[in-house]
Amino acid sequence: MEHTVSAYDDDLKAIARMVTEIGGLAERAVGDSVTALTRLDIDLARRVIAGDRELDRLQRDIEDKAILVIARRQPMASDLREIVGAMRIANDIERVGDLAKNIAKRAVAINGVFPHKQLINGVEHLCEIALHQLKMVLDAYASHDDQAAGAVRRRDDEIDALYTSLFRELLTYMMEDPRNLTFCIHLLFCAKNIERIGDHATNIAESVHYVVTGRSYEDERPKADASIASTIAGT
Amino acid sequence: MSAVQATVPFETVRTPDAAGRPIKIHTRNVKVTYGQKQALHGVSIDIAEKAVTAFIGPSGCGKSTFLRCINRMNDTIAGARVEGTITLDDQDVYDPDLDVVELRARVGMVFQKPNPFPKSIFDNVAYGPRIHGLARSKADLEEIVVTSLQKASLFNEVKDRLTEPGTGLSGGQQQRLCIARAIAVSPEVILMDEPCSALDPIATAKIEELIDELRANFTIVIVTHSMQQAARVSQRTAFFHLGHLIEEGPTDHVFTNPLEQRTLDYITGRFG
């Protein structure tokens, strides 16, 4: 149902639109950063780095607008959750943008050729899953689909598991030949960034759940990142 | 429309009081009609002791009518009929043998517009204790007046002019004078019918601060049109609509995640 004051509806719609917009920008930044990495496309990487400013600006705009609506309309219940949710989600998306920017910076820093093509495939695959998660959760936000958000949250362990196996693989290459170190460490950070993007998608899923239902998940979030337990001796 | 609704069995959505406060006022199936018009269609609610319960809802929803049932203020309205039971500490408020004057000393009331008597500040507060014979001596009476003014956070502002007329005070001070007058007879319950709607934001804040202090000693029921005020001052909130009690629960829940769609629509400003 619409608000008695129609300008209030316009405010809420404007905030939701801005969140969708920043979400789209972040998706593209993540995709482009990994493409820049796999193709060692310095120009594309620089565009991703420059584009992060737009994400930061939008995140600030969303926050300003949200604060203004709180001050002006004293939102209650579902409206309040809508606004708090938008602020939280925009924050997560802004962090996703930072992580994409970091991947792009590493693509610039690697500045050469890959010693092992298959390693890149692993990162690419990880990125595909993370991007899919990001897309699904942004769709769940746009359609207020709590079930879809729950599915995203449950799938995060796939990314974690893949990241763990990539971690082990990179460790093996580093042990084989110290000349792989620089490259492998850059790649490891990229993989970690992507894994973190997956975590932000999970955060967003939790925010969507809160916006839609007014409740927080009570169970522990699924975790399958075993890299913390890995040691050189253990791999 | 109301005739149809009266025949449909109605269930109030309730969330119990997690704090487990004792119940001061029980009401069961309270119905009020003004002549032909039914204003309340059976309201049952338990009001917790030493807590603030807020009644919210659009104009004409029955919240003030219900409030006025609690100390039988509706008795004074010609054609008003009250059915159902209301008990205060297990004592039937509508018992024919009950002394209504004594009831209203136990259940005080503060109105929308401050209504001090055209008497001095002192006499405004001393009036109740005098007619109820609560003071044994002049010194006793003075003490009651001073403590009541202090409890109403007004004493420091008026201590040098207690003999001046109460009507000469500002609106916010007059309302606090009325609260002092209500608490001078040591009531157990204070009913407040939109006590801040005629006051500016600062005077409102002072009353809200006062309500928060008073709930340590009194059971307070407040009707308010300001959702923010209900959210700020109360521990329990009851939402009325078209003569029904729609939802009743902890204020924190009602204003963040109400269970009933109509409550949600009302508090988010989606109908009125």
**CB of B230 less than 8 A from some CB of A:** no
In a domain, B135, yes or no: yes
Kindly indicate the confidence band of residue A229, based on its pLDDT and cuts at 50, 70 and 90.
Answer: low
Q: pTM for the full model?
A: 0.82
**B206's tokens:** 């002072």
Using an 8 Å Cβ cutoff, are B48 and B18 in contact? no
Q: What is the pLDDT of residue B199?
A: 84
**CB of B270 less than 8 A from some CB of A:** yes
Residue B174, domain extent: 2-267
d(CA A120, CA A100): 16
pLDDT in tens, B26-40: 999 999 999 899 999
Q: What is the pLDDT of residue A228?
A: 64
Return the higher-pLDDT residue of B191 and A122: B191
Q: Residue B214's closest CA among B267, B166, B121, B152?
A: B152
List CB contacts of A11: < 8 A, sequence separation 6 or more. A65, A69, A72, A73
- Provide the CATH number for the domain around residue B148: 3.40.50.300
Using an 8 Å Cβ cutoff, are B53 and B224 in contact? no
pLDDT in tens, A8-35: 999 999 999 999 999 999 999 999 999 9
Q: Which of residues 62-91 of A touch B (CB under 8 A)?
A: 73-81
The answer, yes or no, to whether ipTM is higher than 0.90 is: no
Q: Which burial class, exposed, middle or buried, applies to B91 when counting CB atoms under 10 A from its CB (0-12, 13-18, 19+)?
A: exposed
> Domains of chain A: which residue ranges?
6-229
**CB of B59 less than 8 A from some CB of A:** no
pLDDT in tens, B215-226: 999 999 999 999
In a domain, B248, yes or no: yes
d(CA B184, CA B148): 5
**CB of A219 less than 8 A from some CB of B:** no
Across the A:B interface, residue pairs with CB atoms under 8 Å apart total 40
Q: Residue B128's closest CA among B150, B110, B145, B151?
A: B145
The single-letter DSSP state of residue B101 is H
What is the torsional sign of CA A135, A141, A142, A145? Answer: positive
Using an 8 Å Cβ cutoff, are B92 and B86 in contact? yes
Using an 8 Å Cβ cutoff, are A153 and A222 in contact? yes
Using an 8 Å Cβ cutoff, are B215 and B239 in contact? no
Nearest CB to B271 within list A4, A78, A79: A4
In a domain, B154, yes or no: yes
| Residue A235 scores a pLDDT above 70 | no
Provide, rounded to the nearest whole percent, the portion of chain B with pLDDT above 70.
Answer: 96
In a domain, B272, yes or no: no
Q: What is the pLDDT of residue B9?
A: 60
In a domain, B250, yes or no: yes
Residues from chain B contacting residue A214 (CB–CB below 8 Å):
256-257
B191: β partners: B109, B221
Q: What is the pLDDT of residue B272?
A: 52
**CB of B249 less than 8 A from some CB of A:** no
Across residues B112-139, what is the average pLDDT? 93
- Provide the CATH number for the domain formed by A6-229 in this structure: 1.20.58.220
| Residue B2 scores a pLDDT above 50 | no
Across residues A91-115, what is the average pLDDT? 90
Nearest CB to A79 within list B231, B268, B272: B268
Using an 8 Å Cβ cutoff, are A13 and A21 in contact? no
Kindly indicate the confidence band of residue B77, based on its pLDDT and cuts at 50, 70 and 90.
Answer: confident
**CB of B257 less than 8 A from some CB of A:** yes
Using an 8 Å Cβ cutoff, are A36 and A45 in contact? yes
| Residue B198 scores a pLDDT above 70 | yes
Q: Residue A76's closest CA among B236, B252, B13?
A: B252
**Region of A62 on the Ramachandran plot (φ > 0 left; ψ -120 to 50 alpha; else beta):** alpha
Q: Residue B190's closest CA among B133, B105, B121?
A: B105
Residues from chain A contacting residue B265 (CB–CB below 8 Å):
1
Across residues B156-175, what is the average pLDDT? 94
Residue B101 has, within 13 A of its CA and on its CB side, a CA count of: 5
In a domain, B216, yes or no: yes
d(CA B271, CA B260): 14
pLDDT in tens, A160-196: 999 999 999 999 988 988 888 888 999 999 999 999 9
In a domain, B149, yes or no: yes
Helix intervals (H) in chain B:
2-7, 63-70, 100-106, 121-131, 138-151, 155-158, 171-183, 201-214, 227-233, 251-256, 261-267
DSSP string, A24-59: HHHHHHHHHHHHHHHHT-HHHHHHHHHHHHHHHHHH
Across residues B245-261, what is the average pLDDT? 93
Residues from chain A contacting residue B228 (CB–CB below 8 Å):
74
d(CA B216, CA B1): 42
d(CA B135, CA B41): 42
Average pLDDT, chain A: 90
Is A2–B231 a contact, with Cβ atoms under 8 angstroms apart? no
Measure CA A191 to chain center: 12
Q: Which burial class, exposed, middle or buried, applies to B201 when counting CB atoms under 10 A from its CB (0-12, 13-18, 19+)?
A: exposed
- Total structural domains within chain B: 1
User: A32-67: b or e for each residue (b if 16 or more CB lie within 10 Å)?
Assistant: bbbbbbbebbeebbeebbebbeebeebbebbbebbe
| Residue B127 scores a pLDDT above 60 | yes
Q: What is the pLDDT of residue A224?
A: 63
| Residue B11 scores a pLDDT above 70 | yes
Using an 8 Å Cβ cutoff, are B191 and B110 in contact? yes
Q: Residue A201's closest CA among A65, A64, A30?
A: A30
Using an 8 Å Cβ cutoff, are B86 and B93 in contact? yes
d(CA B215, CA B221): 10
Using an 8 Å Cβ cutoff, are B13 and B254 in contact? no
SS3 B249: strand
How many angstroms separate the CA of residue A77 from the nearest CA in chain B? 4
Q: Residue B186's closest CA among B107, B100, B69, B93?
A: B107
Task: Give me the helix-helix angle, A77-110 and A181-213, nearest 10°.
Answer: 170
Whole-number Cα distances in Å, B54 to A213, B47, B197, B225, B250:
25, 10, 14, 10, 10
Is A78–B272 a contact, with Cβ atoms under 8 angstroms apart? no
Helix intervals (H) in chain A:
6-39, 42-73, 77-110, 117-143, 146-176, 181-213
pLDDT in tens, A140-156: 999 999 999 999 999 99
10 Å Cβ neighbour count for B271?
Answer: 13
